[in-house]
Structure 1
Amino acid sequence: MDKKSSATLIILAFFSIYVIWGSTYLLNKIAVAELPPFMLASVRFLSAGILIFILCLFMGKSLKISKKQIINTTIAGFLFLTFGNGVIVWALKYVDSGFAALEISAQPLVVLILMRIFQGKRIKAMSVVGVFLGFIGIYLLVSQEQIVSQENSVLGMLMIFACMVSWGYGSLFVGKADLPENYFVNTGYQMLFGGILLLISSLIFGETWTSPTTWGNDVQWSMVLLIIFGSIVAFTSFNYLLRVVSPEKVATSTYVNPIIALALGWYFLNETVTIQSIIAAGVLLTGVYFINTSKKLVILERFMNKETEK
């Protein structure tokens, strides 16, 4: 692939994880109002995984996978989908879709801290400012009385944070793990194993499964969009980006996701957007900006040093 094609693919992949994933909060919120959360997530990812394998066969892609890759795709599927997504869907029963997206906008802060813990990467001064602003933003977001007073909202917020840690660690894991080289195949196996684990979780929690023919039209359309775009297109883009750019850059999707989610939740579900939430979003995203500005300065500094050495 030439540089121009590669650059175009990266831009499209970023658009996918920015905009499409921003809309999945609304779609999950609509579906979880009628369907049990782990059943919903299991049907979504198992269906997407099977469709991806069918596409791979049509494209002549080998589905061969080693034992090590089976283990790694299962771990990634658990971190990203079984826990990282399934529990968020569960939490959406108790918190607004826009609020969930705003809380998850702190994902780059979590990635940065995890990189420090597990990879020993030093946190730059500007990134420290970003982390500080991030914590302030999270506090402003979760301390709102109208949110805290809702039933099980605090538990929902805590579980969303746990999902952020799971996604953050998964991002670091995937960047180094031995996984299928083809991004479609890699995504398909992660969704297959993640979906199976979600199915097991659904049975353990005693969820009642229903036929798609009994679902409402809004739920049926939400599931179709979640499977095709939210799962196959966006998640494949996510896995691709984790291999070609750094994890903290991939995590910047949280710049746009909350804006899309807030707007859609307000327009379609009449979710309340408070002034404090808007301020919290501004503080959080400013923190994320400081983190990524720090990364850009490091890259620029290295480039300038190389030019000086010539």
Structure 2
Amino acid sequence: MSRGPLALCLAAVWLLWGSVYLAIRLVVREVDPFQAMAQRYVVAGLILVAVAVLRGGWAALRVSRAEALGLVVTGVLLVSLGNGFQALAQVGGLPSGVAALIVATVPAWAVVLRLATGDRPPAATLCGVAVGFAGLVALVGLGQGAGGEVPLLAAACCLAGSLSFTVGSFLQGRMTMPTDIVTVAAYQQLVAACSSTVLAVAAGERVSVDYSGSGWFAMAWLVLACSVSAFLAFAWLLAHVPLSLTATHAYVNPVVAVLLGWLVLAEPLGAGVLVGGGAVVAAVVLIIASEQSARRRRAAPIPLGIDENLSK
């Protein structure tokens, strides 16, 4: 494999998805959050529909009833509520870097959900969960001690979005979905556009596209860079490189988000961000490494006469 496409796709996933929090912060400064997300999703969804058709013809858009149900459920939970609550949290004063670190706890919540359904993750994974939750407490608690830079209500709202994303991810692996990842993303974005519009109406948001120059740039960045380009790069990585390499975005993205928030918006790098955020990123690294190791053990031949209880 040529190193050029690999480096380009990794950089896109690391940097572009790391910048999504800053872009959302800039957009919701000017337009109400659910409406802004609906605008983002409808444009991105239509672009991904075009990509799916170009790749596989109109047949790529055909879905069964079971697949349609899966797309609706995951589109609402993963995309609409997952990102919508995060946008709402930033309207409430949550710094973009802190939002990224709270969202980074998704792998820990996913392990908790697996435990609740009878799974038995490895001990190292559970250790990572404990470290992640300790980091989350430090992130919010030390932020309060530094002058209230982490509003509790906004942090809770962002955490609700993370939980919605976690449940959506869990269900996506258990519901019938189309095999083409681009088709899945296209429909999920369009479902999220509809769902976010309903939320905007329910919240009494005013219809507006009254963006400044920087607001239009941030919205275009969200659509073209974060929702389309980064996703297509992610899809390419899934098809061409080991999952362990693709998964590195989970702990690179929050670091990029914190640095961009600090550089562009002068968001403070207080004790909460440095200590709590560092613990959250370390937890994500530990959880991903432990899960990858467990997968390799499951794939290895089991010696005769040895009964191993391997985690799922």
* Amino-acid identity (%): 26
Distance 1:286 1:140 in 2: 14
CA shift digits 1:226-278 (9 cap, x unpaired): 11121123345667878999999876533111111111111111111113321
Match of 1:140 in 2: 138
Match of 2:270 in 1: 274
Partners of 1:142 and 1:148 within 8 A in 2: no
Distance 2:69 2:249 in 1: 27
Partners of 1:105 and 1:258 within 8 A in 2: yes
Q: CA deviation at 1:29?
A: 0.5
Match of 1:50 in 2: 46
Distance 1:241 1:262 in 2: 24
> Which consecutive residues of structure 1, in runs of 5 or more, have no partner in the other structure?
none
Match of 2:95 in 1: 96
Match of 2:310 in 1: none
Match of 1:233 in 2: 229
Q: TM-score, structure 2 length as denominator? A: 0.85
Match of 1:157 in 2: 155
Alignment equivalent of 2:120, drawn from 99, 119, 122: 122
Q: CA deviation at 1:99?
A: 0.8
Of 56-65 and 135-144, more deviation after overlay is shown by 56-65
Q: TM-score, structure 1 length as denominator? A: 0.85
Partners of 2:14 and 2:253 within 8 A in 1: yes
Match of 1:208 in 2: 206
Q: CA deviation at 1:37?
A: 0.1
Q: Secondary structure at the match of 2:173?
A: helix
Q: Aligned runs of 1:240-279 on 2, under 5 Å? A: 253-279=249-275
Distance 1:99 1:27 in 2: 14
Q: CA deviation at 1:23?
A: 0.3
Of 29-38 and 12-21, more deviation after overlay is shown by 12-21
Match of 1:168 in 2: 166
> Which consecutive residues of structure 2, in runs of 5 or more, have no partner in the other structure?
306-312
Partners of 2:146 and 2:270 within 8 A in 1: no
Alignment equivalent of 2:216, drawn from 207, 220, 228: 220
Q: Secondary structure at the match of 2:30?
A: coil
Question: Aligned AA for 2:116?
Answer: I
How large is the RMSD of aligned CA atoms in angstroms? 3.1
Distance 2:112 2:7 in 1: 27
Alignment equivalent of 1:40, drawn from 36, 39, 58: 36
Alignment equivalent of 1:31, drawn from 9, 22, 27: 27
Q: Secondary structure at the match of 1:206?
A: coil
Structure 1 residues 276 and 263, CA gap change in structure 2 (3 angstroms): same
Q: CA deviation at 1:296?
A: 3.4
Partners of 2:115 and 2:121 within 8 A in 1: yes
Q: Secondary structure at the match of 1:116?
A: helix
Partners of 1:41 and 1:195 within 8 A in 2: yes
Structure 1 residues 46 and 224, CA gap change in structure 2 (3 angstroms): same
Match of 2:191 in 1: 193
Partners of 1:73 and 1:190 within 8 A in 2: yes
Q: CA deviation at 1:210?
A: 1.6
Match of 2:284 in 1: 288
Partners of 2:25 and 2:96 within 8 A in 1: yes
Partners of 2:125 and 2:286 within 8 A in 1: yes
Does 2:175 align with 1:177?
A: yes
Q: Secondary structure at the match of 1:25?
A: helix
Q: CA deviation at 1:71?
A: 1.3
